[in-house]
Amino acid sequence: MPKETFFNLPAGKRERIIEAALDEFSTYSFHKARITAIEDRAGIAKGSFYQYFEDKKDLYKYLMELLVEKKLSYINRDMMVNKEKYGFFQLLREVYLSGIRFAKENSRLVPIWMMLVTDRDLLQEIYGEHRDKSADFFKELLEFGKAKGELAPDLDVSLTATMLQSLTFSLIDLIIEDGKLDMDDMVIIDKMLDFVENGIKKRAQG
């Protein structure tokens, strides 16, 4: 956690520091990223960083907290709370949509987070034991879908959750690597949902 002094900083400066940190960490892995570069880009003096943060890891953790916080803020709270009013696939659509909105507006957070997730040692250092909350979220959603009767009752929830999550990642990655697919975001989502709903096997009726 940042020191108190960080939160006492004028908002502009605080933001400049965060921006600089995002720039650095989204470009370089944790160990290659340099505090000095962050200080330079933020326009603060050489050791000033340590007025605000315990150390490199402290800043990194904070960035990850921002990520979670931001991520949540993009989900339509109302829909999630009043699940019953919606169908499973409607909800899933909203989840993907929010994921996209988030990624588009916080594109630098995504690579940071991806590097973290694939770096076991770092993950350990940052979180101690890691608990994948995102998978839990999908599990819950799937249970709900089952209960509603929209999904096959014998569907394996754990595995499917993993797969849905994985698809989310690839969705976000597609969106960020702007131009990889020249397709409108909505179209992408709809095609992906169709894939999830119906698979890719050709059916008799089309």
- For 43, phi then psi, to 5°, come to 70, 35
Give least dist CB 206 to a copy of itself, A: 7
Partner interacting with residue 70 (select from a copy of itself, DNA, none; CB below 5-8 Å by kind): none
Stretch that binds DNA, among 28-36, 88-96, 151-159, 165-173 (CB under 7 A): 28-36
Partner interacting with residue 67 (select from DNA, a copy of itself, none; CB below 5-8 Å by kind): none
DSSP string, 3-32: -HHHHHS-HHHHHHHHHHHHHHHHHS-TTT
Binding pattern for the stretch 46-85 against DNA, x by CB under 7 A and - elsewhere: xxxxxx---xxx----------------------------
Output the CA–CA distances (angstroms, integers) from residue 106 to 149, 150, 160, in the order listed. Answer: 36, 33, 27
Instruction: Show contacts of 57-60: CB within 8 Å, 24+ apart.
Output: 57/125, 57/126, 58/1, 58/2, 59/2, 59/21, 60/25, 60/30, 60/126
Partner interacting with residue 9 (select from DNA, a copy of itself, none; CB below 5-8 Å by kind): DNA
For residues 174 and 169, what is the distance between their CA atoms, to the nearest angstrom? 9
- Based on the shown chain and the rule CB under 7 A, indicate whether residue 27 belongs to the binding site for DNA: no
For residues 92 and 81, what is the distance between their CA atoms, to the nearest angstrom? 14
Give least dist CB 69 to a copy of itself, A: 22
The DSSP symbol for 138 reads H
Partner interacting with residue 73 (select from a copy of itself, DNA, none; CB below 5-8 Å by kind): none
Binding pattern for the stretch 24-53 against a copy of itself, x by CB under 8 A and - elsewhere: ---xxxxxx---------------------
Query: Which positions lie near a copy of itself, rule CB under 8 A?
Result: 27-32, 89, 111, 114-115, 117-122, 145, 149-153, 155-156, 158-160, 162-163, 165-167, 169-170, 174, 181, 183, 188, 191-192, 194-202, 206
